[in-house]
Amino acid sequence: MEWLNFALILQIFVLLNPLSSFPFLMNAYKKKLNVKKIAFSAVLTAFIIAVAIIFIGPYMFNLFGVTLNSFRIAGGIVLLLLGINTVRPKDNGIKEVGGVNSLISIIATPMLTGPATISFLTIQSYEFGHTALLLNTVIAFILVGVLFITFSFLIPRVNVGLINISSRVLGLFLTAVAIEMIAKGASGFLAK
């Protein structure tokens, strides 16, 4: 088994969709809050949630009596809805949220580790195993952390329109991953 899977790292990174969190970091900057601290804390919190899902998620199948294929379809639908929502145009304003703890919570979950990420990691944990998925997840989160820290330095010069376009492109790839999950789950049902 290959420990590093660049396609998986990219899928996790796209699923985390760090660009969708940028408006919240811009809000923190406008409020003169410590953007680097918020970014680091949010990524760390989201990572802890992701690690918990990697180790606990597969056991939830047995607890709820759910098959992997049904979870693929359900997770794919959630991911598809998220992808469609990301691709659709929306306001390009800065998201208004309260203080530091509110920003950390919102960025960590649902922005980084929402239902789609949780579904995806649960399924991939079943398919790749805990160790391989954990390694690839660590790398994806490191990339998100580096992107957040870089963004925190560049906020005064950021073009919000470019972020929105980039986020929509990531949303398109997210939608494609969702279709793959649904198709794989459906073919698993049909093979029975």
* DSSP secondary structure of 26-72: HHHHHTT--HHHHHHHHHHHHHHHHHHHHHHHHHHHHHHT--HHHHH
- Residue 75: inside a domain, yes or no? yes
The whole-number average pLDDT for the span 31-38 is: 92
Q: Is the pLDDT of residue 1 over 70?
A: no
User: 180: closest CA among 7, 5, 4?
Assistant: 7
**Where is 144: in which H helix or E strand?**
helix 130-154
The whole-angstrom separation of Cα 15 and Cα 74 is: 16
Residue 107 lies in a domain: yes
pLDDT at 98: 67
Instruction: Return the structure tokens found at 54.
Output: 């990697």
pLDDT beyond 90 at 103: no
What SS3 class is residue 176? helix
CA gap 74, 82 in Å, rounded: 13
Q: Tell me what the mean pLDDT of segment 86-112 comes to.
A: 76
pLDDT greater at residue 48 or residue 82: 48
130 inside domain: yes
Residue-number span of the structural domain to which 155 is assigned: 6-190
The answer as to whether 179 is a domain residue is yes
Is there a domain that residue 71 lies in? Answer: yes
What is the per-residue pLDDT across 108-156, written as a single tens digit (0 to 9) for each? 988 899 888 998 999 999 889 999 999 999 999 999 999 999 999 998 8
Residue with tokens 């659709």: 88
Residue 18 lies in a domain: yes
Give how many domains the chain has, as a whole number: 1
15 within domain boundaries = yes
Alpha-carbon span 71 to 49, nearest angstrom? 19
How confident is the model at residue 97, as a pLDDT?
62
Q: Is residue 1 part of a domain?
A: no
Output DSSP code: residue 20. G
**pTM of the entire predicted model:** 0.83
Residue that wins the pLDDT comparison between 23 and 41: 41
d(CA 110, CA 98): 16
